[in-house]
Structure 1
Amino acid sequence: MALPSEEVVAILAPIIVYWVAAGVYTVLGRVLADHRLHSREEEEVRNLVPKRVVVRTVLLQHVLQAAIAFAVFNVKREDRRAADAGTGAATPAVAVVCCQFMVAMVVLDAWQYGWHRLMHSSGLLYRHVHSWHHRLVAPYAYGAQYNHPLEGLILDTAGGALALAVTGMAPLTAAAFFSFATLKAVDDHSGVLVPGNPLHLLFRNNTAYHDVHHQVRGGRCNYAQLFFVAWDKLMGTYVPYEVVRAPHGGLEAVPLKKKLKT
């Protein structure tokens, strides 16, 4: 069954944003070499998976994500039609959209923190699922969604579906929110501290914060993903850091706690 154009936008927009943003950050990483957390040589030497495999795996996740989103929108359409028939379709007010954004951010953050931490604390889940993502010791932009397919399904797709269900966002609102969340995920993994980056001014959970988690000694801290650091602080998994000049000439995120659990 064909979907209305707004729902097609909601399905495709985050995928398009992912690859466009990844391309932009890749170019910025070349132009702003002094602002990289990892040199291009480190990306080749330290990471445990070839970039062609990363691209292929992310494309597979996007196909699965689009297929599930298609099914979800088909299921929700009849409910929405019934509601529109009773009240008349209307464009959500700005205040409603802002509220939906905030609630969706909290829901998605809580969901991803819980699952992310579980995937580290469970040896079975880490070895067979989450360890895929940590093959990227030196993260880069288009590896943001390099995950085991099961992890992509649970953390990203199911988490997004939950946020959508809780907030009741209209398709275009969902398109805007998930595009923003995707952009944030790409930025978190970009490995580039772009000067004046508004995402870094708005969120303490940023590129350097998440880079600490990807470090070999950081796998038991800074689990929070996307927006807030509150869950890490509440649950005792928060580790502060400082950004210093690195031997490769760029930058480095250095944890301020000397002993991190491994």
Structure 2
Amino acid sequence: MDMWTHTKQVFTERLRPGTVEFSMLVYQPVAYWLVACFYDLLDHLKLPLTERYKVVRRDPGRSNTVTRRQVILRVLLQQLIQAALNLGLFILDADMCSRYGSRTFMHQAVRFVLGLYVMDTWQYWIHRLMHNNTFLYKHMHSVHHTLMIPYAYGALYNSILEGLLLDTMGGVVTHYVAGLDCPTAVCVFTFGNIKTVLDHCNYRGPINPLHNIFPNGAAYHDIHHDIRGTKANFSQPFFTHWDWLLNTFMDPAPLHFTVEELRQQQEEKKAGEPKKQR
């Protein structure tokens, strides 16, 4: 099949709703914004129950230097670029989603876990490099760290080049190194998007259901956004083994209020408010 015929087939047949190629393009951004909007709604409602589980620093440090509108536009642009590059990959690698045929559930589960570890390895080393290299930090990664206090939909707020290197190339490397079939790849990358949002949402469990399951949670990553932790906690988005092995781990507990301390603060604040006149 010549390139033109294959390209035409990709756009007319393989990108229809219900195909795995359609899922690879659509599920990641949809999952990202659904989860991010949920936590953004919680931020605006400030319900006593959910506020109790907020990740709050004892010393807040500097405030953010970028507007939420800028964050939204940059994330949307990055997701558009990623979708375009995925389209290009579908065209250049015609067998991308048919190479492995049908696999058993157990085989897919093993590849899924392997994909998580490959993604973590790629992101740890690239992330660490961008912090330790002054040029890369200044011209690429510093964009993400204008969010000194992270929030959910700022998870993928990066420079365009960082988005290509860390996220897009990370996805390509994970796909081929872990030997993922496309249905498993959809699960790995969609889960990775959701987990990244959860790591930036600033909520603990049970409001953040994965916070107590994975060692790399919102509290762990929040410290990395604090100026005191920019040279630590490079691991993302799932595990922390690279930080432990290479001595870049920083315990978030001493720098955050506990749930019980937050509850006490809320009760003291409520008790100190003047009663309304009847």
**TM tier, shorter chain?**
0.7 to 0.9
Q: Deviations over 1:66-85 (max 9, x none)?
A: 0111111222224655x57x
Residue identity matched to 1:244: F
**Structure-to-structure mapping, 1:140-159, within 5 angstroms:** 140-159=151-170
Kindly tell me: are residues 78 and 52 of structure 1, through their superposed partners in 2, closer, same or farther at Cα, counting changes over 3 Å? Answer: same
- Whether the 8 Å contact between 2:108 and 2:184 is mirrored in structure 1 is yes
| Aligned residue in 1 for 2:89 | 72
**Using the alignment, how far apart are the partners of 2:97 and 2:238 within structure 1?**
29
**Structure-to-structure mapping, 1:85-164, within 5 angstroms:** 89-90=101-102, 92-164=103-175
Residue identity matched to 2:257: V
| Aligned residue in 2 for 1:52 | 69
Q: Deviations over 1:197-223 (max 9, x none)?
A: 431232110000000100011100001
Runs of 4+ displaced beyond 3 Å: 78-81, 248-251
1:170: how far off?
2.4
**Structure-to-structure mapping, 1:140-219, within 5 angstroms:** 140-195=151-206, 197-219=208-230
- Whether the 8 Å contact between 1:104 and 1:163 is mirrored in structure 2 is yes
| Aligned residue in 2 for 1:62 | 79
Residue identity matched to 2:64: N
Structure 1 or 2, whichever has the larger Rg, is: 2
**TM-score normalised by structure 2 residue count:** 0.80
Kindly tell me: are residues 66 and 23 of structure 1, through their superposed partners in 2, closer, same or farther at Cα, counting changes over 3 Å? Answer: same
Task: Judge which range, 185-194 or 48-57, deviates more.
Answer: 185-194
Note the residue ranges of structure 2 that are not aligned, 5 or more in a row.
1-6, 265-278
| Aligned residue in 2 for 1:229 | 240
- Counting aligned pairs with the same residue, the percent is 36
